[in-house]
Structure 1
Amino acid sequence: MNVLIIEDEDFTADRLEELVHQYDASITILAKLPSVRDTVQWLRENLSTNRPQPDLIFMDIHLEDDLCFRIFEQVHLPVPVIFTTAFDEYMIKAFRVNSIDYLLKPVNYESLVAAMQKYQSLKRQFSQTDLDTLKEAMGIRRADYKTRFLINVGTRLRTIETIDIAYFYSEEKITFLVTKDNQRLPIDYSLDKLAPMLNPVDFFRANRQFLLSLPAIKNIHTYSNSKLKLELTPDPKTEVFISKEKVSSFKDWLDT
C-alpha cells in the first residue's frame, strides 16, 4: 500500500509517518509535501505514469501557501483522502461523513487506526471514484460553505450575505468584515478560522491580514521582489500585497 502525506509542519508529517508505520510497517510513504504548489507538481509528474501510485492520501487543510482545496481545482485526483485538521467543531462537522474520516490534530494512534479501518472497508467504493464523487464524499460542496454571517451591531443582530462581502481583514487582533458598500463590522472569527468556511473559488487569503473576494480587487500591480500590490474597493486605507510565495496560486485563482 502506498501513502502520500501532504502536511506543512515537518514534525506533524514525521509523526504521521511514524503512526502509519506503527499501524502497518509494510506501507510505503511515497512523499511528504508541504504546499499546494509542491503537491500539484508532484501529482502532475507521478499520476498516470508507471511510477508507484498513492492508494491513500493524508491531507492537511491549511498548507504553507494556501488551502488544500486548491489542489482539487488544479489536478484530477482519483484517490481517497483522509483530511487532518486543527480547526474547531465547525470544521469537524463540515468534514464528518460516513466515508473516509478526518484526523484531529494532534494526531493519535487510535484515531489513525479508526480512519485506516474505515478506508479498508470502503476501498472498493473508492476504487473507481472521480473528483466529483470524492468531493461529495468528503463534504466539499459549495452548499457546505458559509452563505451568511450573523453579526452583533450594538444591541442588534443582523445577517450579512457572503456575496455582499468585499473582504475580511485583521487589525490589532480584531477581525473585521467589510461589505461592498463599505460597512466595516467586527466579527467573532479569526482569519484562520474564516478561510475554510468560505468557498476557495470566491475568496483568497492574500496574506496574514487580508482575506478577499474577487470583486474587491480593483487593480493589480507588479512590485519589487516579485510581489504583487493590490488596490481594493472599498479602500482599506493600507497597502495590500501578495507575497512572492503566493503569486503563483493567486494567479491560478484568478484564472479559475
Structure 2
Amino acid sequence: MKKLIHISTRDGTAPAGLFTPDSGKPAKSAILFFMDAMGPRPSMDEMAQRLADSGYLVLLPDLFYRFGEYGPFSGASFADETSRNQLLKMIGETSVEMTTSDTEAFMNVLQRNGMEGPYGVVGYCMSGRRALTVAARFPAKFAAAASFHGAALASDTPDSPHHLAAEIKARVYVGTASDDGSFPSEQSTRFADAFRRAGADFALESYVGMQHGWTVPDRDGVYDEAGAERHWRRLLQLFEETLG
C-alpha cells in the first residue's frame, strides 16, 4: 500500500512514496529505494510495492524535488529531445552529495515509522552510485546496498563510489548490463579491483544480453522480463540474508 508523504530536508520538501506490504502484516525491516533517471512514476511505484510485499517498509523519495513540478516522464522520455535535455539538466544539477544530505531526512522518516535500522538501499541507473555512496557515508545504518545498471560506479571523478570501498560495511551487490556505455568494462575492472583491495563483501554480476535499464517495466525495447526476474531474485536474496 502506498502513502504519499512530504519530507522536510535542508533544501526544501521532497515528495515520497511510503510503501507497506499489501498483506497488512508488519514490515520486518526498511529499504530506501532510489529512482532511476526518469523519476518517480507508476513503474517505480510498481517495483517499490513488489519489494514492500516481500515484507519491507520501502521509501521511494523524489530526488528531483529541488526543481519543483516537472514532467511527467516515462521510461521512453530519453527518446524525446526536449524531455532528454530537461532530464540531463536535472541529473547534472542533483549531486550525489545532495542525495547523501537528504538521506538523513529519509532515515528520520523510517525511524518515525518504527524502523531503527540497519536498512537496505537500492538504486537504479543514476542512483546506483548514490546507493553505494549512502552506504559508505552511513556505515552503521546500512547492512545491504545494491545497484542495477548503475552509471559511473568507477569513473575518474573524485566522488566515484569505488573510492569509498573501504568505508562500506554493508554487503554490496552490483548488477550490470553487458551492453552499457555508462559502466564500460574498464570501469567494471576498476570497481572490482578497488573492492577486493578493501576486503569488501561484494558481488559484481554481468547480465549478458541485457541493456541499460533492463529491470524497469516501462523501458520499452529495453525491459527484459527474464532478466528482470533474475534481478529480483538477487535483490530479495540480498535483503533476506542481511535484513531478515
State the TM-score, normalized to the length of structure 1: 0.31
Q: State which structure, 1 or 2, has the greater radius of gyration over its C-alpha atoms.
A: 1
- The higher relative CO (CA closer than 8 Å, separation ≥ 6) is in 2
Which has more helix, going by share of residues? 2
Which has more strand, going by share of residues? 1
